[in-house]
Amino acid sequence: MNQKLELLKAYSQAWNDHDIDTIMSMMTKDCAFYAIAGNEVEGTIHQGHEKVRVAFESAWKNFPDAAWLDGDFYMLDANHAMSTSRFKGTDLNGGKHEALMVDLFTFDGDKIAIKNAFRKNRPPVTSGK
């Protein structure tokens, strides 16, 4: 299997393990994260290792049981990849969230330079659904 796809699988596992150190070790020092929402066209842009780290850690603070399930990974060309997954988590108010996601990745060498996240905009799931 492609080395970058293997990296993305390990990266995804680190997200599910809530392992920020492993995640950040797979990203370039000048990495960027384009969040699922925000005022910019790209969503909120977090630039640089420390800002990206803080943004990623906020996912687990806001959804302590966050999980990205059923991941599939695809190389688009030599430096671009895509993953699909199902986000599932409980927010701090007890709301249950579940929605499909797509992440687009740009590589610089053997590390992730940009993570661009997209998630369906869905309200919390009520019991029985």
In a domain, 124, yes or no: no
Give how many domains the chain has, as a whole number.
1
In a domain, 125, yes or no: no
- Tell me: pLDDT of 12 over 90: yes
Global pTM reads 0.92
The CATH number covering residue 14 comes to: 3.10.450.50
Residue among 73, 69, 71, 70 at smallest CA distance from 5: 73
pLDDT in tens, 74-98: 999 999 999 999 999 999 999 999 9
In a domain, 87, yes or no: yes
In a domain, 60, yes or no: yes
- Tell me: pLDDT of 28 over 60: yes
In a domain, 84, yes or no: yes
In a domain, 46, yes or no: yes
Residue 105 structural domain = 3-119
